[in-house]
């Protein structure tokens, strides 16, 4: 029989029809329906194809635990892997099935099922091993197409926000126990947050009629009254559609709120809110999840968990099948049976694995009275049918098989407290022999479990339990009289899997529906030695799907314990990790996406750069001009060659505002600087500057910059553009933790000064025109000195320094005057052919001069000695950071990689950065034994001023290899490029340009 | 995410802080007279125990102050926080809650690392 409406639905709005499409076909449901309940209403049973074998699958559950019915929502940026059992429909929703081709009904991938021996346990590890190259070209594309889930979202811009809460108590779950707890806390001194994953309160009270009355009134009335009382209370806030996904340390919980549950998404608003909750106490009232039983073809569309079937009747008002078969090993199915009978229907058979006295007289009489075919001590052997359940085989009296016809089979293998969150919180669980499941034992944090999550399945006793467990909070006394519909006797019998009769490749008994893991796979894994549960999980991929084995993971422990002949408590569980249910990346990202992902830092000259066709480069968070296009068709290479050439011929200017600047002040500033840097600063004259190096305690170069000494109590140091925060933090660290006796204050002044680097033979002429009051003559303003002067009422500083090897000045000016000054420099500079240049030209020019870049020539394994920077080391200083390490046996080695220059013998050839320096002309093909390599090329440019390639390299014992012929590998082939080792200073080795 | 009680600002989210590794590793004053091994000990070697650990933290996205903490690395409980110039608390003033040598109970793994 097909689906029918239950007129007494507790939730669905029958007056509001909603249309939606599934695989292009239009269906109707009601407002409040999930995709699953609406499809069941329309007698659609085939929903998906399975992960590996592409077997037909239907709706197995009625909630978050769904392993089969996962779908793609086309009109929500193609959102994949939505659970049809959770996602509510709305007008115009477009839903597609996943993992099928060409169609759900005719799926070619289902051939995998016949090839299933190949897909057995560990097949990922065994099958795709070789030959070489097969993975990328053959295996991966095939796996990507046939195995798997939905397609990734399209044109997706995340819209979610984060919200923080600080409360005293969080109640997770607004079912019977959660609502009782909340009601007891109304108008107490506590701030309480009540979180409910559904769009309404009530949980189990709405999922079934297991609880008949509360305080002599209908349960729905009691829920409404409770919700009203909570809403008018001043201390409790309810968050619906909010699923707690993580329970972290220090009572920190994450809940995901779906702002558009049951509605079409308004793209101008945020779709999801990620609630970050800090609480003092957590009350877990998140209930239980039913588990299944493995039998032959327990995955056929039509097999459904019994309590889910019950949920569809009571919550959604749809009876998926009026005459199903019920298969159970416990008493929770009694209310389902009664619900069906009360609605005028009758199961085809009631199959109970237990013997008569466990079942109880009451139920036996009921079954007899209502003339329901009844089998005790019996089990389902399996079921058969074409893409749906048609025939169900019942095994009676151990061997006799009876076949009955029905399109649905409701299964209950018992219920598990939903311990996921409790174990995430690091609480310990223990095995309960009576309930045949794990339940919470010792909490690790301030966690209280109440109701079925605590292993209390007796609704009559829920209130006593809560009174008892919450007494320390001194909550209010309330009246609670709970009348239940049937027995409170759970009386479960252990049953994980039934015995198979048939054997064909199509017959399978599944333990994990989502990942297509069979009970046979578990056995095989144990045989192959994966007898530890964590290993077994990974080897078989059991419970590793998006459902995380919510209806089956305890079953797998049961089956494995039988194979291993161990107690289940000895087998233990695998680790429950957050999130509890799939959490979209967009929710995690929140607002931190695209341009908001990381701040962009722009200099005061930024807009001028844009107007002058600058192409930008990211340096840390800074946007720096990389090069300037003279005209639109100019290539980067052309631009850089032009900028470099012109700077050496006339003058060039670089916006160096991003350079880190740190001011060091205080009585002991000199002593501090002597400790922080390798250089000696004591004898340095005031108003002079010096190129300085900072090391780690391991002796490796950490940062460089120019240090300006005003006097012994005042220094300003520049750092690399990316290194400024780290250098400042290091200075603070040493001041606070190693030398607290030093009176020194360090402060970042990077943003306080806009910096320009002007260099080239004409730079003095230009500077003299711009700053007419400053004497730029060599005698009055020699190399590595600086002057401070008043510029329009602000303090400005000009330093004579150069990173190009040409005559050069650095200008430090308040950012407010930055752009204006920049323009003024060009106003005077145009006559001298002043050219703006970017970072690429800066790198080229410094390479021509043999200047290193920290992070390019160095990589954290380079000492100053390796760079021939011995002259920068204050050997007479008693101490500085890293000093002792410069004489460690390793740093003192003579065959360390040292900085050299490299030029190709054939001047037309170009060397690539990052290539290896070797001694042989040709590399063997294929390379069978490692080729000894001497080092690597750290920088390489085509020098427009020398008109050939120049490179810098770090090579073993480089200082002793001057003039030697070596080879550089290339990305083009096995033939290497012949080069000569030379000094890394290619231009003006006598520093004439610099100092004249 | 754990909460850390900055001695200058009060309780703040862990994301505001940076960990500075083992505390009370004094920088040798007479590094010239140390042999490679002893100097190497200072530069490269730090303890990493499972259980009680003295470590440094800095409120890097806050007051930028360094301070010390005693943390149980197995449970992430911060047992004590004290300023750099305050007295080091004695290790026997803390109870190490780990029972088995590895801290793992007999049952399961992962979440069960903490056995009270
Ligand atoms: Zn602070």
Give how far B88 is from chain A: nearest CA, Å: 14
Q: Is residue B59 part of a domain?
A: yes
Supply the pLDDT for residue A148. Answer: 58
Total count of domains within chain B: 1
The answer to whether A736 contacts chain B (CB < 8 Å) is yes
> What is the average per-residue pLDDT within A272-281?
96
Would residue B42 count as lying in a domain?
Answer: yes
In a domain, B108, yes or no: no
Model confidence band, residue A220 (pLDDT cutoffs 50, 70, 90): very high
Residues of A within 8 A of B54 (CB-CB) are none
What residues does A102 pair with on adjacent strands?
A107
At A618, is the secondary structure helix, strand, or coil?
strand
**Residue range A337-396, pLDDT digits in tens:** 999 999 999 999 999 999 998 999 999 999 999 999 999 999 999 999 999 999 999 999
CA A29 to ligand 1 centroid distance, Å = 56
**Relative orientation angle of helices A669-676 and A724-733, to the nearest 10 degrees:** 120
Question: What count of other Cβ atoms lies within 10 Å of the Cβ of residue A341?
Answer: 16
Nearest to B107 among A572, A577, A740 (CB): A572
Tell whether the model's pLDDT for residue A42 goes beyond 90.
yes
Judge whether residue B111 has pLDDT over 90: no
Asked if residue A439 lies in contact with residue A452, where contact means CB atoms within 8 angstroms, the answer is no
Of the candidates A304, A390, A288, the residue with the CA atom closest to the CA atom of residue A68:
A304
φ and ψ of A482, to 5 deg: -105, 120
How confident is the model at residue B113, as a pLDDT? 35
Q: Does A893 touch chain B (CB under 8 A)?
A: no
DSSP summary character for residue A965: E
Q: How many CB atoms lie within 10 A of CB A707?
A: 24
CATH number at residue B56: 3.30.2270.10
The C-alpha angle A259, A265, A270, rounded to 5 degrees, equals 50
The answer to whether residues A953 and A917 touch, using CB atoms and an 8 Å cutoff, is yes
Long-range contacts of B38-44 (CB under 8 A, 24+ apart): B39/A884, B39/A885, B39/A888, B40/A888, B42/A697, B43/A697, B43/A698, B43/A885, B44/A698
- The shortest CB-CB distance from B114 to any of A248, A444, A698 is to A444
DSSP codes, A651-680: EEEEE-TTSEEEEEESTTHHHHHHHHBSS-
- C-alpha A735 to ligand 1 mean position (Å): 16
Q: How far is it, in rounded angstroms, from Cα A554 to Cα A456?
A: 18
State how far residue A733 is from chain B, nearest Cα, in angstroms: 7
Of residues A250, A423, A732, nearest to B64 (C-beta) = A732
Chain B CB within 8 Å of residue A577 CB: yes
CA distance A577 to A585: 17
Considering the domain boundaries, does residue B18 fall inside one? yes
- The answer to whether residue A129 scores a pLDDT higher than 80 is no
Q: How far, in Å, CA of A873 to CA of A883, rounded?
A: 9
pLDDT surpasses 70 at A953: yes
Q: Which residues of B touch A570 (CB under 8 A)?
A: 106-107
Shortest CA distance from B24: residue in chain A: A737
Cα A395 to Cα A101, A303, A327, A373, A392: the distances in Å are 37, 17, 11, 14, 10
Chain A from 192 to 251: CB within 8 A of any B CB: 248-250
A-interface mutation test, from B77, B111, B112, B115, most A Cβ less than 10 A away: B111
CB nearest A736 (choices: B31, B66, B116): B66
A533 touches B at CB < 8 Å:
yes
Asked whether the predicted pLDDT for residue A787 surpasses 90, the reply is yes
- Residues of chain A with C-beta less than 8 angstroms from the C-beta of B39: 884-885, 888
Rounded CA-CA distance A261/A200 in Å is: 11
**Neighbouring-strand partners of residue A396:** A400
Average pLDDT over chain A, rounded to an integer: 92
> Average pLDDT for residues A457-470, to the nearest whole number?
95
Tokens of A317: 């008002």
* Residues whose CB falls within 8 Å of the CB of residue A491, separated by 6 or more in sequence, listed in order: A330, A331, A354, A358, A359, A360
State whether A423 and B34 contact (CB < 8 Å): no
Please give the interface size between A and B, counted as residue pairs whose CB atoms are below 8 Å apart.
Answer: 85
The answer as to whether B46 is a domain residue is yes
Do A44 and A27 meet the contact criterion of CB atoms below 8 Å apart?
yes
Question: Do the Cβ atoms of B65 and B82 come closer than 8 Å?
Answer: no
Interface contact flag, A426 B110, Cβ < 8 Å? no
- For residues A189 and A455, the answer to whether their CB atoms sit within 8 Å is no
| Structural domain that includes position B9 | 3-93
Contact B37/A at CB under 8 A? no
Which residues in chain B have Cβ-Cβ distances shorter than 8 Å to A426? 75, 111, 113-114
Distance B88 CA to ligand 1 centre (A): 20
A576 contacts chain B (CB < 8 A): yes
Residues of A in contact with B40 (CB under 8 A): 888
**A644 CA → ligand 1 middle, Å:** 48
Residues of A in contact with B115 (CB under 8 A): 428
As a whole number of Å, the end-to-end CA separation of chain B is: 21
On the question of pLDDT at A929 being above 70, the answer is yes
- Ligand 1 centroid from CA B16, angstroms: 9
DSSP B42: H
Contact A720, A658 (CB under 8 A): no
pLDDT of residue B98: 52
Does A733 contact B20 at a Cβ distance shorter than 8 Å?
yes
Categorize the per-residue pLDDT at B99 as very low, low, confident or very high, splitting at 50, 70 and 90.
very low
Cα A371 to Cα A348: distance, rounded to the nearest angstrom: 10
Residue A820: CB atoms within 10 A of its CB come to 12
Is B112 touching A (CB cutoff 8 A)?
yes
Domain annotation for chain A: domains and CATH numbers: 160-288+417-484 (3.50.50.60), 289-411+493-571 (3.50.50.60), 606-657+753-846 (3.30.1360.120), 660-751 (3.30.70.1400), 893-996 (2.40.30.110)
Q: Which residue of A has its CA nearest to B60?
A: A729
Question: What is the Å distance from ligand 1's center to B65 Cα?
Answer: 6
| Residue found under tokens 């909750």 | A277
With a CB-CB cutoff of 8 Å, which residues 58-77 of chain B face chain A? Answer: 58, 60, 64-66, 75-76
The verdict on a CB contact (< 8 Å) between B36 and A733 is no
pLDDT at residue A116 tops 90: no
Nearest CA in chain A to B45: A698
Minimum-distance CB partner of B65 among A427, A575, A736: A736
What gap in Å lies between CA A885 and CA A862, rounded to an integer?
12
pLDDT in tens, B78-98: 999 999 999 999 988 887 655
| B98 domain residue, yes or no | no
| Nearest-CB residue to A248 (from B1, B32, B36) | B1
Summarised one tens digit per residue, pLDDT across range A227-252 is 999 999 999 999 999 999 999 988 99
Bigger pLDDT: A832 or A147? A832
**pLDDT for B44-76, tens place per residue?**
999 888 778 999 999 999 999 999 999 988 778
Tokens of A665: 């002040």
Q: Do residues A559 and A524 touch, judged by C-beta distance below 8 A? A: no
Closest CA in chain B for residue A735: B66
- Model's pTM, two decimal places? 0.86
SS3 letters across A911-957: CCCCCEEECCCECCCCCCCCCCEEEEEEEEEEECCCCEEEEEEEEEC
Chain A partners within 8 Å of B84 (Cβ): 736-737, 740
Does B99 map to a domain?
no
Distance, in Å, from the CA atom of A33 to the CA atom of A11, rounded to the nearest integer, reads: 9
- Cα B8 to ligand 1 centre (Å): 5
Q: In terms of residues, how long is chain B?
A: 116
Say whether pLDDT at A140 is over 80. no
Question: Which residues of chain B are within 8 Å of residue A884 when distances are taken between CB atoms?
Answer: 28, 31-32, 34, 39
Tell me whether strands A349-352 and A374-375 are parallel, antiparallel or unpaired. parallel
Q: How far apart are CA A779 and CA A774, in angstroms?
A: 13
Answer yes or no: do A574 and B108 touch at CB < 8 A. yes
**B59 CA to centre of ligand 1 in angstroms:** 5
The Cα A454–Cα A557 span in angstroms is: 20
| pLDDT for res A794 | 93
**Cα of B72 to nearest chain A Cα, Å:** 13
B11 in contact with chain A, both atoms CB, cutoff 8 A: no
Residue A785 is classified by DSSP as B
Helix, strand and coil in chain A, % to nearest 5:
25, 30, 45
C-alpha A48, offset from chain centre: 27
Distance (angstroms) between ligand 1 centre and the Cα of B5 equals 8
Given a cut of 70, whether residue A97 has pLDDT beyond it is yes
The whole-number pLDDT of residue B92 equals: 83
Pairing of strands A272-284, A447-449: parallel
**Is residue B101 situated within a structural domain?**
no
- The 10s digit of each residue's pLDDT in A208-217 is 999 999 999 9
Closest CA to A306 of A288, A287, A290, A317: A290
């Amino acid at each position: 029989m097909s689906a029918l409406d239950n007129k007494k639905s507790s939730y669905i709005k029958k007056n509001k029809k909603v249309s939606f499409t599934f695989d292009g076909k239009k269906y109707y449901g009601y407002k409040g329906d999930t995709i699953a309940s609406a499809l069941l209403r329309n007698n659609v049973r085939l929903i998906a194809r399975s992960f590996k074998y592409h077997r037909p699958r239907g709706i197995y559950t009625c909630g978050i635990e769904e392993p089969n019915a996962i779908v793609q929502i086309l009109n929500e940026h193609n959102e994949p892997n939505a659970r049809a059992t959770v996602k509510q429909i709305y007008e115009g929703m477009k839903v597609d099935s996943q993992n099928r081709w060409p169609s759900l009904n005719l799926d070619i991938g289902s051939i995998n099922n016949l090839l299933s021996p190949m897909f057995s346990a560990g097949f990922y590890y065994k099958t795709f091993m070789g030959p070489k190259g097969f993975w990328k070209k053959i295996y991966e594309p095939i796996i990507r197409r046939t195995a798997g889930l939905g397609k990734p979202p399209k044109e997706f811009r995340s819209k979610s926000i984060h919200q923080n809460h600080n409360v005293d108590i969080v109640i997770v779950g607004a079912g019977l126990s959660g609502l009782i707890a909340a009601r007891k806390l109304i108008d107490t001194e506590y701030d309480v947050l009540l979180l409910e994953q559904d769009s309404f309160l009530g949980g189990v009270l709405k999922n079934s009629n297991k609880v008949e009355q509360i305080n002599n009134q209908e349960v729905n009335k009691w829920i409404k009254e409770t919700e009203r009382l909570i809403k008018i209370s001043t201390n409790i806030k309810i968050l619906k559609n909010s699923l707690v996904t993580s329970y972290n340390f220090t009572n920190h919980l994450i809940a995901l709120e779906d702002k558009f549950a049951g509605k079409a998404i308004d793209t101008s608003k945020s779709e999801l809110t990620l609630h970050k909750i800090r609480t003092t106490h957590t009350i877990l009232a998140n209930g239980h999840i039913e588990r299944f039983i493995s039998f032959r073809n327990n995955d056929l569309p039509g097999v459904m968990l019994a309590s889910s079937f019950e949920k569809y009747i009571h919550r959604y008002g749809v009876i998926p099948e009026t005459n199903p078969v019920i298969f159970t090993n416990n008493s929770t199915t009694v209310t389902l049976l009664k619900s069906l009978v009360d609605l005028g229907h009758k199961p085809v058979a009631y199959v109970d694995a237990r013997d008569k006295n466990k079942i109880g007289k009451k139920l036996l009489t009921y079954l007899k009275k209502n003339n329901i075919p009844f089998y005790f001590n019996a089990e389902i052997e399996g079921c058969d049918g074409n893409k749906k359940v048609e025939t169900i085989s019942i095994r009676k009296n151990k061997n006799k098989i009876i076949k009955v016809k029905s399109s649905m089979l409701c299964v209950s293998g018992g219920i598990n407290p939903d311990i996921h969150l409790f174990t995430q919180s690091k609480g310990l669980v223990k095995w309960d022999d009576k309930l045949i499941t794990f339940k919470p034992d010792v909490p690790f944090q301030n966690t209280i479990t109440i109701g079925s999550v605590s292993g209390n399945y007796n609704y009559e006793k829920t209130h006593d339990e809560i009174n008892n467990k919450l007494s320390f909070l001194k909550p209010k006394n309330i009246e609670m009289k709970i009348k239940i519909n049937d027995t409170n006797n759970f009386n479960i019998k252990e049953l994980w899997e039934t015995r198979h009769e048939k054997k064909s490749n199509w017959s399978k008994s599944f333990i994990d529906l989502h990942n297509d893991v069979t009970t046979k796979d578990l056995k095989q894994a144990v045989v192959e030695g994966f007898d530890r549960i964590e290993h077994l999980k990974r080897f078989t991929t059991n419970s590793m799907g998006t459902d995380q084995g919510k209806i089956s993971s305890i079953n797998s422990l049961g089956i494995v314990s039988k194979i291993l002949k161990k107690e289940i408590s000895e087998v233990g569980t695998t680790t429950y990790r957050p999130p509890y249910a799939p959490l979209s990346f967009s929710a995690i990202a929140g607002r931190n996406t695209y341009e908001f992902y990381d701040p962009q830092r722009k200099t005061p000259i930024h807009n001028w750069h844009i107007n002058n066709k600058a192409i930008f480069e990211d340096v840390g968070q800074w946007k720096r001009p990389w090069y300037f296009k003279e005209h639109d068709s100019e290539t980067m290479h052309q631009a850089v060659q032009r900028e470099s050439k012109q700077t050496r011929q006339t003058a060039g200017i670089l916006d160096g505002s991003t350079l880190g600047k740190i001011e060091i002040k205080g009585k002991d500033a000199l002593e501090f600087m002597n400790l922080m840097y390798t250089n000696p600063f004591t004898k340095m004259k005031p108003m002079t500057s010096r190129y300085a190096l900072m090391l780690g305690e391991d002796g490796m170069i950490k940062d460089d910059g120019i240090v300006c000494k005003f006097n012994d109590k005042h220094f300003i140091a520049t750092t690399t553009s990316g290194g400024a925060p780290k250098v400042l933090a290091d200075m603070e660290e040493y001041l606070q933790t190693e030398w607290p006796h030093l009176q020194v204050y360090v402060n970042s002044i990077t943003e306080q000064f806009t910096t320009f680097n002007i260099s080239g033979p004409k730079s003095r002429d230009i500077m003299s025109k711009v700053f007419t009051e400053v004497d730029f003559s060599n005698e009055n303003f020699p190399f590595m000195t600086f002057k401070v002067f008043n510029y329009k009422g602000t303090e400005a500083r000009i330093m004579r320094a150069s990173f190009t090897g040409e005559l050069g000045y650095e200008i430090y000016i308040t950012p407010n005057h930055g752009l204006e000054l920049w323009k003024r420099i060009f106003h005077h500079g145009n006559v001298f052919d002043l050219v703006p240049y970017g970072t690429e030209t800066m790198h080229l020019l410094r390479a021509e001069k043999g200047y290193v870049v920290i992070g390019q020539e160095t990589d954290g394994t380079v000492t100053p000695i390796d760079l021939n920077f011995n002259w920068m080391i204050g050997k007479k200083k008693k101490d500085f950071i890293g000093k002792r390490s410069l004489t460690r046996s390793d740093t003192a080695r003579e065959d360390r990689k040292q900085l050299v220059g490299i030029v190709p013998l054939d001047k037309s050839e170009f060397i690539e950065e990052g290539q290896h320096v070797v001694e042989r002309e040709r590399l063997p093909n294929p390379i069978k034994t490692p080729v000894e390599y001497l080092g690597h090329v750290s920088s390489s440019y085509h020098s427009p001023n020398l008109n050939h390639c120049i490179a810098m390299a770090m090579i073993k014992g480089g200082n002793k290899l001057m003039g030697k012929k070596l080879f550089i590998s290339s990305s083009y082939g096995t033939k290497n490029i012949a080069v000569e080792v030379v000094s890394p200073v290619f231009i003006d080795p006598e520093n004439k340009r610099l100092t004249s | 995410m754990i909460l850390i009680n900055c001695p200058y600002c009060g309780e703040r989210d862990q994301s505001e802080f940076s960990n500075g590794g083992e505390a009370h590793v004094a920088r040798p004053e007479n590094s010239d007279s140390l042999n490679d091994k002893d100097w190497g000990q200072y530069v490269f070697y730090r303890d990493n125990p499972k259980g009680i650990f003295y470590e440094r933290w800095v409120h890097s996205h806050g007051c930028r102050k360094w301070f010390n903490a005693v943390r149980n690395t197995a449970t992430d409980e911060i047992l004590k926080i004290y300023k750099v110039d305050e007295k080091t608390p004695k290790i026997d003033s803390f109870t190490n809650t780990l029972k088995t040598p590895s801290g793992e109970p007999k049952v399961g793994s992962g979440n069960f690392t903490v056995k009270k």
